[in-house]
Amino acid sequence: MKWLFTGLIVALTVSEAVGAKDWFSKAVYNQWHETELERWLSDHDVPYPSPADRKDLEELVKSNWESYVTAPASKTAEEVSGSLNDVKEWIFDSWSDSQLKAFLDRHGVPCPQPKKRDTLLSAARNNYETIAQKLGQSVNYPGNWLYEHWTESDLKEYLDSHGYPVPQPTSRDKLIAAVRRNSRRAGIESRKTASAASASMAAAQETLAEALFNAWSESDFKKFFDEHGIKVPQGSRRNEMLALARKNRNALLEKSSASLVSGFGAATSKAGNEYARATDDAQLKMNDVFNQVINGWSDSRLKGYLDARGVPVPQNTKRDELLAKVRLHGHKAASGYSAWTFDTWNRENLGKYLSSQHKKALEGVEYSRDELLKQAQDAYNRASKAGGPTYASITNYLAQTTDSVKDNFNSWSKDDVEKYLASYGIKPTRGSSIEELRKQAQANADYFRYGVTKQESSIFTRLQDMGQWAWDQLKIGALSGRAEGQKAAQDVKEKVSKAADEL
């Protein structure tokens, strides 16, 4: 959970606006090395002769540029921020904190302390060109070396999370190409979101500051002026103090939100502390629940969890080692297609898939769900290894079908649900209703597919809602006077404390 709130804090503090310097211009690729021109053409599936001289390559890029490079959102090319020539300023913007840290670790760059996102970003940018030079790599349109510490699952997850389609059929090179050509847009969208969030936060702080000033007594004003070295003319009346405080509002806004609301007294600062504690407690509880769930899984399910994420499992791996690996990859959701894509398909959907793609696989099959699943998974694995048109046909089918085939056990028979739970090593409690069994199957299926993140999205939404409620209560209390403000703060503290226990 910490990474969610760290990311939110970063978003609220970044205030760089989108500029107007164009990176979609001839001046960009005119400075590229031949290998970078070839890389761009390859990324966009534009054929080019080999060997080819630089002039021919540049002409090919020029003739295809407008067709493949589009400005984010409704922006025109001339309105896009930054320069592609200064790739280090944007290439890392959409990376996660863990990816930044892994990049620095891999290339022997000491991680800055504290390991906050802004310091990680700064270290990655400052060392980017030095690392590239050591590797003998160009820096304007970076090669695959930049992503060598990313697994295929990481690459797929990046594309999924930013809303870009995973290339089908896929390979590591194709995945990197898709990430590379979309990372500029993803970075710009991240900055736009951060800029909007920053503006929203500033407006909210202005509102709360005004509410605080209106609620302050003369002694509160004097304390504020003394703390910030603001000279107050002798005999100033309250309205004159209010005007002087407004003039020096920035001195108040320089404080963190927690310090800002502490103007209501100790109860308010405790509310802020309770809110922070709730986020930490939620993370600990999520990890604890996940650990309890996987501790009850069979070894085959633990191996399946890792296999669905492309994590290799050596032969004769002990159970403790399996559990440790699953915990290590607890925050990694299964993404892309694999044999495990069919894990939660019902008998009807499995039959349709086999009928359309592998008719021979149905010969002699007893049509139980388990047998259909085995046939579907085996057929997929064979096609995946062989590649070619057969595999392309399968991935096209899945791309058109998986959105409509949801993880929904409502149509499953009791026997099929019990067998599904048995694959996890779970024995149903005697007397369990079909609804209870389906709910239990759904919960385990969600943990298998999404890991710890199964809980994070819903809990983060709850914490966001709770935070907005708290913020609104403090503003309402401020506008009603100091006593009401302290009462509102106490209400916030109590509600957040209760929510922490519920989470």
Q: Which two tokens stand for residue 310?
A: 């492309």
Of 195, 212, 246, the residue at which a domain comes to its end is 195
Distance in angstroms (rounded) separating the CA atoms of residues 282 and 456: 9
Question: What number of other Cβ atoms are within 10 A of residue 295's Cβ?
Answer: 11
Instruction: Identify whether residues 306 and 446 lie together within a single domain.
Output: yes
Give domain status of residue 291, yes or no: yes
Distance in angstroms (rounded) separating the CA atoms of residues 296 and 259: 45
Instruction: Identify whether residues 314 and 170 lie together within a single domain.
Output: no
Q: Which residues of the chain have pLDDT under 70?
A: 1-27, 66-85, 189-209, 211-212, 215, 251-283, 335, 364-366, 402-404, 406-407, 454-503
Cβ(107)–Cβ(131) under 8 Å? yes
Residue 25 has a pLDDT of 46
Non-local CB neighbours of 245 within 8 Å, separated by 6+ positions:
213, 216, 221, 224, 225, 252
Look-up: residue for tokens 């927690």? 258
Cβ(308)–Cβ(450) under 8 Å? no
Give domain status of residue 149, yes or no: yes
Distance in angstroms (rounded) separating the CA atoms of residues 188 and 193: 9
| Segments forming the whole domain that contains residue 74 | 2-24+69-195
SS (H, E, C) 143-169: CHHHHCCCCHHHHHHHHHHCCCCCCCC
Residue 141 has a pLDDT of 85
Give domain status of residue 381, yes or no: yes
Of 160, 195, 230, the residue at which a domain comes to its end is 195
Helix boundaries (H) for 358-413: 369-386, 388-401
Instruction: Identify whether residues 7 and 139 lie together within a single domain.
Output: yes
Instruction: Identify whether residues 303 and 178 lie together within a single domain.
Output: no
Non-local CB neighbours of 334 within 8 Å, separated by 6+ positions:
153, 308, 309, 340, 448, 449, 450
Instruction: Identify whether residues 295 and 436 lie together within a single domain.
Output: yes
Instruction: Identify whether residues 341 and 452 lie together within a single domain.
Output: yes
Give domain status of residue 389, yes or no: yes
Give domain status of residue 483, yes or no: no
Instruction: Identify whether residues 189 and 290 lie together within a single domain.
Output: no
Q: What amino acid occupies position 45?
A: D
Give domain status of residue 296, yes or no: yes
- Summarised one tens digit per residue, pLDDT across range 221-242 is 888 888 888 898 888 888 888 8
Residue 189 belongs to what H/E stretch? helix 172-215
Give domain status of residue 274, yes or no: no
pTM: 0.46
Distance in angstroms (rounded) separating the CA atoms of residues 368 and 228: 76
Which residue from 139, 156, 97, 143 is spatially nearest to 105, judged by alpha carbons?
97
Task: State how many domains the chain has.
Answer: 2
Q: Which two tokens stand for residue 7?
A: 């990311």
Which DSSP state fits 84? G
CA 169, distance to chain mean position in Å, is 24
Cβ(446)–Cβ(344) under 8 Å? no
Instruction: Identify whether residues 188 and 295 lie together within a single domain.
Output: no
Instruction: Identify whether residues 307 and 434 lie together within a single domain.
Output: yes
Q: Which two tokens stand for residue 240?
A: 């004159």
Of 419, 441, 457, the residue at which a domain comes to its end is 457
Q: Is 236 left (phi over 0), alpha (psi -120 to 50) or beta?
A: beta
Instruction: Identify whether residues 81 and 191 lie together within a single domain.
Output: yes
Instruction: Identify whether residues 333 and 452 lie together within a single domain.
Output: yes
Q: What is the CA radius of gyration of the chain?
A: 28
Which residue from 128, 183, 137, 140 is spatially nearest to 31, judged by alpha carbons?
140
Give domain status of residue 53, yes or no: no
Residue 389 has a pLDDT of 83
Q: Which two tokens stand for residue 412?
A: 């499953």
Largest CA distance in the chain: 99
